[in-house]
């Protein structure tokens, strides 16, 4: 697709935290990735993590409830939840838990064949890690 036909080139999600170092360690060590860019502006700090291809999922309340029920046993996520596809769900889950994640629900096999686990980051963000069966 040419640039003229592609209205969006990249999706970025910006997360603000009261404990920057903790959340940087959680995501960098938990995912095993290095920052792609680091910005320091006076006393302010920020970084960018390349997370592969980005998509935006939009759910109505019934679909959000269905996914939460499947992955967590009840409605638990807020308006925003991260879903990260990983090559090895068990290893990624263990790294995240070792770096401060809370296990919300053990891994489940979805009706569409993915292996999903629900976690919560140290700031309370709900995270689905999923490994595609394909």
Between CA 108 and CA 116 the distance in angstroms is: 5
Q: In which residue are the tokens 């995912």 written?
A: 31
Q: Give the 3-state secondary structure percentages of the chain, helix then strand then coil, rounded to 5.
A: 30, 25, 45
pLDDT tens-digit readout, 98-113:
999 999 999 999 999 9
**Dist. CA 2–CA 30, nearest whole Å:** 35
- 3-131: CATH topology: 2,3-Dihydroxybiphenyl 1,2-Dioxygenase; domain 1 (3.10.180)
Which residue from 120, 125, 126, 80 is spatially nearest to 101, judged by alpha carbons? 120
> pLDDT tens across 53-92, in order?
999 999 999 999 999 999 999 999 999 999 999 999 999 9
**pTM, whole model, 2 decimals?**
0.88
d(C-alpha 78, C-alpha 53), whole Å: 23
Domain ranges of the chain: 3-131
């Amino acid at each position: 697709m040419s640039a003229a036909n592609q209205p969006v080139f990249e999706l970025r999600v910006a997360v603000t935290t009261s404990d920057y170092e903790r959340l940087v360690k959680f995501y960098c060590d938990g995912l095993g990735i290095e920052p792609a860019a680091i910005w320091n502006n006076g006393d302010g700090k920020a970084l960018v993590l390349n997370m592969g291809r980005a998509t935006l999922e939009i759910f109505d309340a019934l679909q959000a409830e269905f996914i939460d029920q499947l992955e967590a046993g009840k409605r638990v996520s807020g308006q925003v939840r991260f879903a990260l596809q990983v090559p090895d769900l068990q290893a990624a889950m263990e790294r995240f838990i070792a770096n401060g994640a809370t296990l919300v629900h053990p891994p489940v096999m979805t009706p569409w064949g993915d292996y999903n686990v629900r976690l919560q980051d140290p700031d309370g963000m709900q995270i689905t890690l999923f490994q595609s069966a394909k």
